[in-house]
Amino acid sequence: MISRLFHIFVTGWIFVQSVGHLAMLMVGHEMVVECHIK
């Protein structure tokens, strides 16, 4: 039971980390594009 909850927590944590990283990449890309346009 505990290990199952731990597994769900770890999976969620990795998911959040990857989504956050993806969001940062997208924001960084937008900023670079804006800079190039200006």
Check the CA dihedral 11-13-16-19 and report its sign.
Answer: negative
pTM: 0.56
Check the CA dihedral 8-9-10-12 and report its sign.
Answer: positive
Give the pLDDT confidence score for residue 35 in this predicted structure: 85
CB atoms within 10 A of CB 28: 10
DSSP state of 38: -
Domain of residue 6, residue span: 1-38
Count: domains in the chain? 1
Give the pLDDT confidence score for residue 38 in this predicted structure: 67
Q: How far apart are CA 20 and CA 7, in angstroms?
A: 20
Q: What is the pLDDT of residues 1-38, one digit of tens each?
A: 789 999 999 999 999 999 999 999 999 999 888 887 76
